[in-house]
């Protein structure tokens, strides 16, 4: 991502190397290969790679106070918790969703507080809007 004048986007820890963009590109390529070949494993790997590339940028922007990604990050926690409880612990889906909802709410509150501290008191920041 090219910075524009007045853009205070947080830099990546690895410098100007486009790691997030290459991860998303690899995810798209793997997803296309999986769809063309009918491989569920390749489709899953493609989705995970694409999500990781976008998630890295979201985490960096959120904790630097650049843009709030509270719902996206809390939703990621929800998916991980529900998936873990359902597939690894073998709980019924209703219990997994209930626990996931509680964890989502707690993560949302914690992430909103983290963004407020990083942004100097703003509760959200999207484009030209500041709250």
Please check the confidence at residue 27 and state whether its pLDDT lies above 90: yes
- Residue bearing the bigger pLDDT, 129 or 75: 75
With bands split at pLDDT 50, 70 and 90, how would you rate the model's confidence at 3?
A: very low
* Residue 8 tokens, joined: 């205070």
Q: What is the DSSP secondary-structure string of 26-84?
A: HHHHHHHHHHHHT-HHHHHHHHHHHHHHHHHHHHHHHHTTSS--HHHHHHHHHHHHHHI
pLDDT value for 14 = 80
In this predicted model, what pLDDT tens digit does every residue of 42-87 receive, in sequence order? Answer: 999 999 999 999 999 999 999 988 888 999 999 999 999 999 999 9
Residue 89, number of CB atoms within 10 A of its CB: 10
Residue 131 has pLDDT above 50, yes or no: yes
Q: Does residue 125 register a pLDDT over 70?
A: no
User: What are the contacts of 113-120 at 24+ separation with CB within 8 A?
Assistant: 114/62, 114/63, 115/62, 115/63, 115/65, 115/68, 115/70, 117/65, 118/62, 118/63, 118/64, 118/65, 119/65, 119/66, 119/68, 120/65
Which of residues 126 and 64 earns the better pLDDT score? 64
Q: What is the mean pLDDT of residues 89-102?
A: 96
33 or 126: which leads in pLDDT: 33
Work out the mean pLDDT of the chain and round it to a whole number: 88
Domain positions in the chain are: 16-63, 68-131
């Amino acid at each position: 991502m090219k910075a524009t004048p007045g853009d205070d986007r947080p830099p990546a820890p690895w410098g100007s190397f486009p790691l997030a963009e290459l991860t998303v590109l690899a995810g798209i390529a793997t997803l296309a290969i999986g769809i063309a070949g009918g491989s569920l494993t390749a489709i899953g790997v493609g989705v995970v790679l694409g999500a990781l590339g976008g998630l890295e940028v979201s985490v960096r922007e959120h904790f630097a106070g650049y843009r709030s990604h509270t719902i996206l990050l809390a939703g990621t926690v929800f998916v991980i918790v529900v998936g873990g409880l359902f597939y690894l612990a073998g709980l019924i889906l209703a219990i997994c969703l209930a626990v996931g909802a509680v964890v989502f709410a707690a993560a949302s509150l914690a992430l909103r507080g983290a963004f407020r501290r990083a942004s100097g008191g703003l509760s959200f920041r999207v484009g030209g809007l500041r709250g």
